[in-house]
Amino acid sequence: MWFWTFASLGLAGVLDLAAGALLVRLLSQYFVHPLAWWHYVIGAFLGASPDIDLFLGFFEKNPNGHHEYLTHRPSVGIPLAIVLGWFFGGEFWAVAAGIGVFWHYLRDTKGFLGLYDNRLAWFWPFSRRYWGVQNLRVVSETLEELLSKEKGYESLHAAFLTPTRRSITEFALTVIFAGYEIADVFGLHFGIVAACLFWFGAIGLWMAYGFCSPRR
């Protein structure tokens, strides 16, 4: 069902959005750069920006293969983000864009937080293998090997529309990051309310998916 697909895609991106905004906040303190509320929005976009290729993957019915696009090639994405950041906003935004995109690639790497099955072609175009860490060892796979383990959007549904170690950990980090940012801009009470609303929404989706899931 299309609703569950969009819901799982949204939940998969919330940590990147929250982390991107937090990185901008922390960098603003280092650079002594004043922030307006919409700067947090830009930071959130930077953290999630490589996943713009999900739209292409959606229309090509290739949900698990979007890491093969240029937007998920660190050798392309990081320099491009730095150049665009510098062009549009100077030194601060060049650093923010580069770190925001780097965060996304790090999160997409197997072994990050001990959660991920994804891997990334960190050394493309010199290597087409997808790299990660498993049991404290660097491991790699071909794209074909990686895709053979995926089950389309079902993998995404299982990861985020049910209370798994991955979803709980990511949502907890999202609440911490976003709660801090909202409290910083609007006040502590707003941060607490936003955190509670997020958990109520996530738990509600878990319950609804468990009830309506076609597998049951």
For residue 190, the SS3 value is: helix
Residue 33 sits at the vertex; the CA angle it makes with 31 and 34, to the nearest 5 degrees, is 155
Instruction: State the pLDDT at residue 6.
Output: 81
Q: Which of 49-53, 160-164, 174-178 has the highest mean pLDDT?
A: 174-178
Residue 192 sits at the vertex; the CA angle it makes with 95 and 21, to the nearest 5 degrees, is 10
Please state, for a pLDDT cut of 70, what percent of the chain lies above it.
Answer: 86
The Cα 161–Cα 157 span in angstroms is 5
| 97 vs 4: which has the higher pLDDT | 97
pLDDT band at 216 (very low <50, low <70, confident <90, very high): very low
pLDDT band at 72 (very low <50, low <70, confident <90, very high): confident
Instruction: State the pLDDT at residue 8.
Output: 84
The Cα 173–Cα 12 span in angstroms is 12
The Cα 50–Cα 210 span in angstroms is 30
- pLDDT, one tens digit per residue, over 149-159 is 665 667 778 88
DSSP 162: S
pLDDT band at 132 (very low <50, low <70, confident <90, very high): confident
DSSP 213: -
Q: Which of 109, 111, 115 is nearest to 129 (CA)?
A: 109
The Cα 101–Cα 85 span in angstroms is 11
- pLDDT, one tens digit per residue, over 26-67 is 999 999 999 888 999 999 999 999 888 776 655 555 555 556
In terms of Cβ atoms closer than 10 Å to its own Cβ (0-12, 13-18, 19+), residue 161 is buried
